[in-house]
Amino acid sequence: MLAKIQLTNRNKRMATHFNIMQNVQKPLPSATNTPPPRHPRQGSARSSPGMYAIFTRDRLGIGQRWRTSRDDMKKPPCKALKSQISRQHEQEKEKNGIFVIRKKLTVMNNFTFYSPTEFVFGKGSEEKTGELVKTYGGQKVLIVYGKGSAVKSGLLDRVKNSLDKAGLRHTELGGISPNPTDDKVYEGIEICRRETVDFILAVGGGSAIDTAKAIAAGTPYEGDFWDFYIKKAVPTQALPLGTVLTIPAAGSEGSGNSVITKTDGLKKLSLRTDKLLRPRFAIMNPELTYTLPPYQTASGITDMLAHVMERYFSNTQGVETTDRLCEAVMTAIINEAPEVMTHPDSYDARANIMWCGTIAHNGICGVGREEDWTSHAMEHEISAVYGVTHGAGLAVIFPAWLTWMAGHNPHKPAQFARRVWHIADSGNMEADAKAGIQALKTFLRSIGMPLTFAELGIDNPDIDLLVRKLHENKGEKIGCYCPTDRAASREIYELAL
């Protein structure tokens, strides 16, 4: 017997009708005594007491993952989709004897949002550096910066002059590379301990800031700072830090997170803290980004877009506010990107992109909802092994991940397509999702981003190595939207060829 389910949603466009099998002990007329085949990444597709099997209409285009006959249950959907049907439900019998199931959806998660960073935004704001460091208790400052652009532009001298005017002593650590490595962290920790540094100032983008955070956590710690990145220890104290942002991308100026690559073994791992490593202040002058090369600008745009997407693709229901916030930030990035690429000295476009980068990763877009982060984990292995720019790697991996998800859990990719890329609702979620993915690829191509391994400069990627390292570092199942195992990860990497 088939029962009818109506999935209600505040947005009627997203309301979708499914058929579900009534949870009864007697077998379906078309069922046999032969158990259904198992999917390589799932348990049995068999219906049992207390569990519902999901059936999809042809018009939804979800690939008919589950069929009306157990013998036809070739490829069950992702567990994330199956878990959407709650075992707690209300049944009302209609006159025609068909049940209407009002599904109790997973509700918004409890959350605490903490963002203490003081953002000082606008023209000439770097002149306030010394005043801000002093306000937050700094007396001896370690300046952490990259490989020369801060020096060539004169920014580093302006920052030092500001510290001098405030009567603050300072030393420095330069040469931080993209995809920052542990050797510079160890060097910075040694400087801080030797010279009794009490405040760290990062001048640059995410690489300088992430390095500064690792130094801040490692200086008062008696063990190896890498313990924090392999989850062997949890940091409980750190030196305070501030930032002068020059590359909008990573969002590290507003987050408590840091990503470092250990050169021994090429392990690129993250440290995530809710409070401890959030900068005391972030100085953000859009004019400092005028001279960024186009490729670096586009990579930053891709990175911040991906930060929102990692939060957006979630199975958590009842999060209309953050859904709409994510969509608004993504839309702003997409709208401003062409102007930034065409007119790099456009203050308004640079300002909007810079602020988008912060909002994308300071946590506000992800409150109350489960987040994914599979694409970032997969890209980290690529940039660790091949040294590519992080944002460019994401331009290759995220569309591949979305393509895989379109065939396994298409609900949110279809919403992404319709709301962000204005794809007309055809009633077929998988088809709409794929149209949205194509729109995303067209956008990335328009700003000069690669879409394949070959375009990234990797003609023959070692997918065996990437998959092995990925799951060694992140576990056998990765992500939350539709957890991927080794076989799924391989399929996604192969979609990027």
For the range 151-157, what are the long-range contacts, defined as Cβ-Cβ under 8 Å and sequence gap of 24 or more? 153/288, 153/291, 155/126, 155/203, 155/244, 155/246, 155/288, 156/203
CATH of 118-288, one of 3.40.50.1220, 3.20.20.70, 3.40.50.1970, 2.60.40.1730: 3.40.50.1970
Mean pLDDT calculated for residue range 246-257: 95
φ and ψ at 183, to 5 degrees? -60, -40
Residue 67's pLDDT band (boundaries 50, 70, 90)?
Answer: very low
- Which of 19-33, 62-76, 88-102, 117-131 shows the highest mean pLDDT? 117-131
Q: Which residue has the tokens 């909007």?
A: 352
Domain ranges for the chain: 2-103, 118-288, 294-495
- In this prediction, residues 229-246 reach a mean pLDDT of 97
In tens, the pLDDT along 273-289 reads: 989 999 999 999 999 99
pLDDT digits (tens, 9 = 90+) for 209-218: 999 999 999 9
Cβ atoms of residues 268 and 384 within 8 Å: yes
Q: Which of 242, 244, 282 is nearest to 159 (CA)?
A: 244
pLDDT (0 to 100) of residue 481: 96
Tokens read off for 386: 């091949």
Residue 49 pLDDT more than 70?
no
Is residue 42 predicted with pLDDT exceeding 90?
no
Q: Write down the residue that tokens 């330069």 correspond to.
A: 174
- The neighbouring-strand residues paired with 171 are 142
464 burial via Cβ count (<10 Å: 0-12, 13-18, 19+): exposed
DSSP helix, strand, coil percent of the chain (3-state; round to 5) = 45, 15, 45
Q: Are 361 and 254 in contact (CB under 8 A)?
A: yes
Mean pLDDT of 265-280: 94
The rounded distance, in Å, linking the Cα atoms of 327 and 422 is: 11
Percent of the chain with pLDDT over 90: 76
Band of residue 65 on the pLDDT scale cut at 50, 70, 90: very low
What does the pLDDT look like over 98-124, one tens digit per residue?
333 333 446 899 999 999 999 999 999
313 touches 481 (CB < 8 A): yes
Give the pLDDT band (50/70/90) at residue 24: very low
- Contact predicate 60/427, CB 8 Å: yes
Average pLDDT over residues 180-184: 96
Q: Which residues on adjacent β-strands are paired with residue 3? A: 20
Reported as a pLDDT band with limits 50, 70 and 90, residue 149 is confident
Amino acid code (one letter) for 129: T
Concatenated DSSP letters of 158-178: HHHHHHHHTT-EEEEE--PPS
CA distances, 301 to each of 335, 345, 392, 463 (Å): 11, 16, 10, 26
> Could you give the CA distance from residue 218 to residue 137 in angstroms, rounded to a whole number?
19
Q: Are 362 and 251 in contact (CB under 8 A)?
A: yes
User: What's the mean pLDDT in 190-201?
Assistant: 98
Note if the pTM is more than 0.85. Answer: no
Query: What are the tokens at 105?
Result: 């959806």
pLDDT tens digits for 347-387? Answer: 999 999 999 999 999 999 999 999 999 999 999 999 999 99
Instruction: Report the pLDDT value the prediction gives residue 34, as an integer from 0 to 100.
Output: 43
pLDDT over 90 (residue 311): yes
What mean pLDDT do residues 190-216 have?
A: 97
CB-based contact 234:195 (threshold 8 Å): no
3.30.200.20, 1.10.630.10, 1.20.1090.10, 3.40.50.2300: which CATH number matches 294-495?
1.20.1090.10
Token output for 189: 């920790």
- Alpha helices of 57-111 — where are they, by DSSP H? 79-82
